[in-house]
Each structure stands twice: as structure tokens, then as C-alpha cells.
Structure 1
Amino acid sequence: MAARIDSLVTAGSFSLDGGTWDLENNVWIVGDETECIVIDAAHDPEAILAAVGSRTLLGIYCTHAHNDHIGAVADVQSLTQAPAYLHPADDMLWKTVYPNAAHLPLENGQHISVAGTELAVIHTPGHSPGAVCFYAAELGTLFSGDTLFHGGPGATGRSYSDFPTIIESIATRLLTLPAETIVLTGHGESTTIGDEAPELDAWVARGY
């Protein structure tokens, strides 16, 4: 039996380049009745732990290291002892939140197993250098973090981000997935690869 996907929305703030903004984040939990993983431990450790419940938390998998996506990692770890995983190209962002805490590395092509289901790590730099997505082919689902949203790519107007890079990541590594793939995003509503693919040229033309 394939793993199921649970979700919750947590609220907090994002800070970078001297600014702070209030926002809501999607937290995704993949697993079954006995074990699970958390994708992006954002803002609210109590809500995340309540959603995990009595299950064994195998790991906290970070799509990138902006503080709104990793702010609850330490508190969740303190009660579960679950390891945190992050692409090392985002280490400089991680250290702004956790200067003395380590994480385990993610790399492109790596596979994550949970509840009999595999998720593939896809490195998609652009929103940040170490941004990744997680693709669960068996579930027909992509967890896109802040790389791809309903209506366009993630923001690239701040430090360590780059618009041409995120467009290349999306075009070559995400839009090649099956059109029916559900895209579960880091913020806001979900979409599909098929709904977003036709818009690529328009994003490039208007610069986002």
C-alpha cells in the first residue's frame, strides 16, 4: 500500500536581506500509520508534532533553507531525534538560523524510502542554490517547495537567487515529468505539471 500525504498550514514570518514578511507555509507529511517524513518543518513545531502523532519520524526533509521553511526543525528534532536533510549548497542560509547545528546532505538523484514509497530528490537551484524538489512517482506527486507554484516559478529577487537558473531547473527537471503530476507547493494552492508547462515562455517574457 502506498504512503498517504497529510498536510497542514502554519503561519509565521520570512526574513532575508533586512526585511521580514508574514506568510503561511504548507507542511507536507508522507507516510502511513507507523512511520512518516516531514517535508519543510515550518513555523509551528507543536502543530507538526501533532500531525506526526505516535508515528516514527524518519527524517525532516528541507526543500531549501530559507528560515520560514526550517524554523521548526530544531524543536521537532528535540522531541523526535529525527535527522534533518538539506542540500549543502544552502548551508549559508541554514547557518543563519542554526549556526551550531548540523544536517545530513541531500543530492540530486538520491532516493528516500518511507512506508513502502520512494521519493526522488531533484536539485532545482534558482530560488536558492540548494533548492530541491521531491518526486513520488508512485503517488504521482511532486513536492516543489518554492521552486514551482500555481502560476509561475518561485521568487528570485533576493540574495542567492537567480531567475535564469530557476527557469532552467523548471524547464529541464520538472516540466519533463508527466503532465498529470500533482504539484504540492511550499505556499498556496496546488497545481499540476500540465497546467504550468504551457506558461513557461510567458514567464520568461515577463521575467518571472
Structure 2
Amino acid sequence: MSYTGEVTPGGPTDVRELTRLTITKVAVDEKMSNNCYLLRCRESGAQVLIDAAASPETLLPLIGDGGLDRVVTTHQHWDHHRALADVVRETKAVVVAGEPDADAITEQTGVSVDQRVGDGDTVAVGACDLEVIRITGHTPGSICLLYRDPDGHPHLFTGDSLFPGGVGNTFGDADAFATLIDDVETKLFGALPDDTWFYPGHGNDSQLGVERPHLAEWRERGW
């Protein structure tokens, strides 16, 4: 079966096999339906988890006996790190988060952030690298993670900064929305090609080319 990115809490994972990287997507928590992504380097077997959102009883068996090098939290909101303490306790993984959100994540979870990242930093998945792109607005330190597949198109993990149909919620804060839409337009749409496949923190995936025609509409709509 080909990858679709359509997952539901309690349902099966969806797996995308790239030449050098395997992406496993799983949804957790029926109320919030958060997406978690387990990335595995096919050369070394090294694994990185993006957002230990909830349900360690789902995530830990998915990680399996191969161990976990790092767990990345895309932003400080509570629904994206409820399983962080359990996952780190069991795997001893290095904890990664955006610099401006790191203290809040520690306050909420009791877990220290080992690697505080920002624009231009990289997160290793064995022989593969994820580029960190800071997107301010949904939270001060939200990050996206970009994998430039040398054998295909880019893959972008956007947390809650970008979804099919719009940017993340800024809860009525006009200044935060302006920053968010500017960052998304400049750092993502302005820098990456249309065939970039992106994986959000909730719901289905999309491609930048599908969403690009709606940027002006999103800016006008606000949030």
C-alpha cells in the first residue's frame, strides 16, 4: 500500500519508505488526535521521534528494541509532550526543542532539554540530517524540521505552524499571527519547492504546491 498520511488514534501506523529514511506516522489521543513521527535511518538504524505527544503505550513499542537517539518537541503546547517524560525515562533519548520554548517544556514536563536549537541548526538521524527552521507565532520557539531527500523531494515536519488549509492558531493575537504568516511565507513557501511534502502536528499531510495559491487568502482571513 502506498503512503497516504491518513491515520487515526487507535488505528494503524502509516509508513513511508524513502531511500535513506523511513517515516512512520501514528496518531495518539482521540480528543486531540496528535501526530507523532518516528524517523529511522536505513543505513545505521538510528531513530528520532518527533513529538512524544501522548500514549507511551503506543510509542514505546513502536520505537522497539532499536533504541531512540533523540526526541524532538516541536513546541511548548501541552498536547505535544505528554509522553515525553515516559519516553525519555525508558529510552534515555536526547531531548531537543526550540530555544525560546525549552524552559516552558521543562516546566510542564519536568524533563530537561539537552539540545536547544534554532535556525540553521541540524538534528541527526544517523546518516541523515534534519534542518531546523524556527517559525515564530504559534509559540515563540516553534520549530519545523526539514529533510532534503537527496533521492527525491523535500520532507518537512511542521508541528502546529502549518496545516493543510492554513497556519496554526494564534488565539486572536494579531501580532503573533503577522509573525507566523510572515515566517511561513518567507521561510517555508519562499524557500522550498512545490513538491515539498509536509507533515503537520494534527491531521492529514499536504504539499506546499497545493497550499501555495491560498497564502493571500490565509493572510486576509487571519486567526
Give, in whole Å, the separation in 2 of the partners of 1:83 and 1:96: 17
Asked whether the equivalents of residues 141 and 181 of structure 1 are also in contact (C-alpha less than 8 Å), the reply is: yes
Name the residue aligned to 1:175: 189
TM-score where L is the length of structure 2 = 0.83
CA contact (8 A) 2:117 2:132 kept: yes
Question: What's the RMSD between the two structures over aligned residues?
Answer: 1.7
Asked if structure 2 preserves the Cα contact closer than 8 Å seen for 1:3 and 1:115, the reply is no
* TM-score of the superposed pair, with normalisation by structure 1: 0.89
Q: Secondary structure at the match of 1:162?
A: helix
Partner of 1:125: 136
More strand by share: 1
Give secondary structure in 2 for the equivalent of 1:64. Answer: coil
Structure 2: 5+ residue stretches without partners: 1-18
The code of the aligned residue for 2:206 comes to: T
Percent identical residues: 31
Aligned with 2:39: secondary structure? strand
Which contiguous aligned blocks of 4+ residues in structure 1 show a shift greater than 3 angstroms?
none
Distance in structure 1 (CA, Å) of the matches to 2:90 and 2:209: 40
2:120 matched to 1:109? yes
Q: CA deviation at 1:88?
A: 2.0
> Residue 6 of structure 1 is aligned with which of 9, 21, 24?
24
Q: 1:120-166 CA deviation, whole Å, 9 max, x = no partner? A: 0000111000000000011621000000001000111078x810011
CA distances 1:50-106 after superposition (whole Å, capped 9, x unpaired): 1111112110011101111111110001111011111121135314412x4310211
How far did 1:182 drift?
0.3
Q: Deviations over 1:175-202 (max 9, x none)?
A: 0211100010100010011111111100
CA distance in 1, matches of 2:154, 2:102: 30
SS in 1 for 2:141: coil
Identify the residue that residue 95 of structure 2 maps to in structure 1.
84
Choose which of 28, 31, 34 in structure 2 pairs with 1:25.
34
Structure 1 unmatched runs, 5+: 13-21
Counterpart mapping for 1:37-186 below 5 A:
37-98=48-109, 100-104=110-114, 105-138=116-149, 140-157=154-171, 162-176=176-190, 177-186=192-201
Q: Report how many aligned residue pairs link the two structures.
A: 197
**Residue 27 of structure 2 aligns to a residue in which SS?**
strand
Q: Indicate the SS of the match to 1:57.
A: coil
